[in-house]
Amino acid sequence: MSEVHIHEVGLRDGLQMEREVVPTERKLLWLRRLMASGVGTIQAGSFVHPGKVPQMADTDRLFAALSSGPGRPPGVTLSALVLNEKGLERALASGVDLICAGVSASETHSMKNTGMGIAEATDRIIGVARRAVAEGRRVQLSVQSAFGCGYEGRVPPARVLAIAGRYLEAGMRNVSLADTAGHATPGQVEDLFGALRALDGGLELACHFHNTYGMGLANAYAALRAGVTSFESSVAGMGGCPFTKIAGGNVCTEDLIHMFRRMGMCGAVDIRALIAVAADVAEFFGREMPGTVYRTGIIGEPEVTAA
């Protein structure tokens, strides 16, 4: 099996659905524990309008605290989501390592999420990405609602590939396909990532699955079979897009790593540290979270190699 990279998005995609705003100090505690766990990339927040997503109002402060606080473990990348030029300006000023941005392949979801149709959103996001690259930042571009939309149903693969093709024309080679509505099936995942790889065999492929209909881990395994090496997931299985019809949590980080460890990967990640964060998240919100292994425990300690 190929080496895999975990991109933890719980502090962004996970929290954006929560009504109870998490205090900045509690977020920093979780972020520092996640960084110490051995996960390669941590998404600390998004630079969006605080009126639309109040949970993200302190993203600038989080990055400032992380840059001035205890040292970051070697090899940890901090990422953030931006939706437009203003968000990029804030991300650049905050010293974000990896700028994440994307375009929805659903016209309805695109309008609800950004106030723009697909064509306009694609032009603007490519402009944002080019500016970020010119400023020396790494960029990952995603196609959201790539496998279906709660409002529109099936999303044509040709539309997804057309957006990805625009990214490639702009010189962007780190591309994620996001199952925002949780509609994907393993067969769809293998087919669409296969078609994406056919466009350019040198792409860095990433995936982002939601577990709305219980298919998250199955789809992650299908993505692995299709050659995807970067997996976005959320501690405790938190999350969901507030602008989709039925919001479901992300693939759970500790569940995903538990699966990979049983397959001989992710040996460098401290799964017990992640389980401890998940338990703290559950305690903070006062309810059982969607993740599984933080409740059931892990199965032994198989022989693994660091990935």
9: helix, strand or coil = coil
- Spell out the long-range contacts of 66-70 with Cβ–Cβ below 8 A and sequence spacing 24 or more: 66/28, 66/31, 66/32, 67/94, 67/95, 69/28, 69/32, 70/32
11: helix, strand or coil = helix
Distance CA 164, CA 66 (A): 33
For residue 192 the two structure tokens come to 């669409």
Which residues, at least 6 apart from 198, have a Cβ–Cβ distance to it below 8 Å? Answer: none
Place of tokens 């900045």: 24
Q: Which amino acid is at 307?
A: A
Beta-bridge mates of residue 77: 41
Catalytic residue, chosen from 207, 241, 252, 266, is 241
Residue (of 126, 134, 113) closest to 178 by Cα position: 113
Distance CA 128, CA 149 (A): 25
Contact 186, 218 (CB under 8 A): yes
For residue 3, how many other CB atoms are within 10 A of its CB? 10
127: helix, strand or coil = helix
Residue (of 183, 103, 176, 99) closest to 149 by Cα position: 183
Active site residue 241: yes
For residue 267 the two structure tokens come to 């040996």
Distance CA 79, CA 298 (A): 28
Enzyme catalytic residues: 241
